[in-house]
A = this chain, B = another copy of it.
């Protein structure tokens, strides 16, 4: 893999590259209008970007009356890697310069096996993609991990479900092996960015992305940028206390959102319902499989199992109550619901959330607020990771 170290050299070049990434190939005339550059100044910057291999010419635009203007786009050979390390699997994708996924590979592996084992799988998947001819010129790679990250240092910080990863130099290790710049962030942040780049939130500046998986988290986008907060923990809503009582959380406290509603909580409550004789459906499934997951609850609820329907409704109500307050506080332009458990539960969960938020939040904040299920699914993470890498690489500072 050949390292591509070229970067834009000034603010105008950065602006031009981001426009081409987000809007696609456009004519020089349109580009000049969009960035307020004179024709000659624009030509200088585009020539330079072409020279360093970041921009391509694509023929001539249709005439707008005068001379036909040349069309330019990001170099068609530019490639980014999006790496999404989940609790139980790794996804690796290669994208073009506009973050369109060209190839995506996935491999199950438990993140608790530690950084050496997991990153070996990552590199193996990258190797497979490379040997197929993709990802030869990689311009940058983005990585999401299921825990808190120091974005500046590119290391996980005391991640609860990632034993062995604390302070592990993910960025520098991968950067060395991949021979390109690497950025590392929390998985929920990169999913939020993916939704903003390629999902239903494409035209939204201020976004909440709520992920319901084994745990619960929230990605916050402010003015098109991931908002991380003063110490990088912004959006960590899973341990907000929503109740003075309730089951003990994995963090040791009582009343956390995640202990009431999450993939883990659903599995626990379903098992309890099966054992207490409140659901024949779940009891049969438990007897057959030996254990229950949130996916069983989703199937049971879809089949009309009353106990499961109530678990989903109750969970949606609790998440909705918290979200109602956050919507009043943050006044987002959209709320996107994603993550494996949310995808499995689907519309019944969405309906409950909508009902609570629209009833409880300020009318000013909900008057024009779409609350939607992610349509990107498992691609949100890899697209967001690639996009985060491109934000970093297509920048002059």
Counting every copy of the chain, the complex holds 2
1/0 contact string of A165-190 vs chain B (CB within 8 Å): 00000000000000000000000000
A322 at the binding interface (Cβ < 8 Å): yes
Smallest beta-carbon distance A80→chain B, Å: 25
Query: What are the residues of chain B within 8 A of A321 when measuring CB–CB?
Result: 241
**10 tightest A-B contacts by CB?**
A229-B331, A230-B333, A233-B364, A234-B331, A240-B325, A233-B331, A240-B328, A233-B365, A222-B222, A206-B230
Determine whether the beta carbon of A329 is less than 8 Å from that of B332.
no
Contact A240-B205, Cβ < 8 Å, known A231-B368, A365-B229:
no
Nearest CB in chain B to that of A225: its residue: B223
Determine whether the beta carbon of B325 is less than 8 Å from that of A231.
no
- The 14 listed contacts between A and B (C-beta, < 8 Å) are A206-B230, A230-B365, A231-B331, A233-B328, A233-B331, A234-B330, A236-B328, A237-B329, A240-B325, A240-B328, A241-B321, A241-B360, A322-B325, A325-B325
Report Cα–Cα, A200/B90, bound state, in Å: 45
A227 at the binding interface (Cβ < 8 Å): yes
Smallest beta-carbon distance A156→chain B, Å: 13
Query: What are the residues of chain B within 8 A of A330 when measuring CB–CB?
Result: 229, 234, 329
Smallest beta-carbon distance A318→chain B, Å: 13
Interface residues of A in 221-256 (CB under 8 A from B): 222-223, 227-237, 239-241
Interface size on A, residues (CB 8 A): 43
Query: What are the residues of chain B within 8 A of A158 when measuring CB–CB?
Result: 364
Report Cα–Cα, A158/B362, bound state, in Å: 13
Report Cα–Cα, A244/B245, bound state, in Å: 16
A66 at the binding interface (Cβ < 8 Å): no
Nearest CB in chain B to that of A244: its residue: B321
Query: What are the residues of chain B within 8 A of A220 when measuring CB–CB?
Result: 329
Smallest beta-carbon distance A236→chain B, Å: 6
Report Cα–Cα, A204/B229, bound state, in Å: 11
Query: What are the residues of chain B within 8 A of A237 when measuring CB–CB?
Result: 325, 328-329
A324 at the binding interface (Cβ < 8 Å): yes
Report Cα–Cα, A219/B329, bound state, in Å: 10
A43 at the binding interface (Cβ < 8 Å): no
A381 at the binding interface (Cβ < 8 Å): no
